[in-house]
Amino acid sequence: MIYLLSYCPLANSKYGREVATRIGIPSYVDASCRREPDFELASPFVSGLCRPNFIATLNGGDLLVYVTKMSTVHREGRRLVAVLQLDMAFVSHAAAAAWYQASGVRLPHSCIVPGNDPLAITVTNPKMTPGTAKFTDSKLWDRAVYAPRAKGCTQCFSCSALFLNFIQKHRRSIRVSRPDGRSGPGGGASRIGQSRPRRARSATLPTGPAGCGSTAGRPVFQGTR
């Protein structure tokens, strides 16, 4: 199954871009203190910290297509950042941590286990969402938001990146439009690609559930540039 998902990178705000430039990190990493998903590993990591109910329904082999959420920074549309194929399913964050440690790499930022603290608030942008704008300390943010979600959805995955570009900006962003002519996630199908879709190239794809950050309905995938 193939699912279209959106997320908030640092690049979606002026403040976030300043953070990325000042710290020297890729601007299209997730803006939160838990970097969900974590694109920066050889085997990217996906957990249920942002979409616990949705992640619990996934299986190895499923494809997740990640695009940026709409923002004033990307007036021309959304940006395709990653196409991840789910590889290994873990029954817990602890099991995932053991696998990554055995592979000789750092733990994923969104893997919640003892000793793997959230990122410092200075390398995030809590103001990207109204619900997290109040946090000035990443550990408080983590305990209030992400720790409960990790307990509610223990399933998580290592991934293979079929496409991944969280550093350079594309020449042309993609546009996600709804049948009613408005842009962005919502009821009904969504199209990805050029502003004038070509039906001959389309294919029907299922998406994640409405209300969890993905588009609702059955989108038509048109390809990207």
Any idea which residue has 């307990």 for tokens?
151
Compute the CA torsion angle 80, 81, 82, 83 (nearest 10 deg). 0
Q: What is the per-residue pLDDT for 86?
A: 98
Peptide bond into 37 cis (omega under 30): yes
**C-beta separation of 160 from 142 below 8 A:** no
Mean pLDDT, consecutive 10-residue stretches, the chain (225 aa), reads 94 92 93 95 95 93 94 78 97 97 96 96 88 89 93 94 81 45 35 30 34 32 32
pLDDT of the residue at 169: 59
Q: Which pLDDT belongs to residue 132?
A: 85
Burial of 208 (0-12, 13-18, 19+ CB in 10 A): buried
Q: Give the separation between CA 191 and CA 219, rounded to whole angstroms.
A: 6
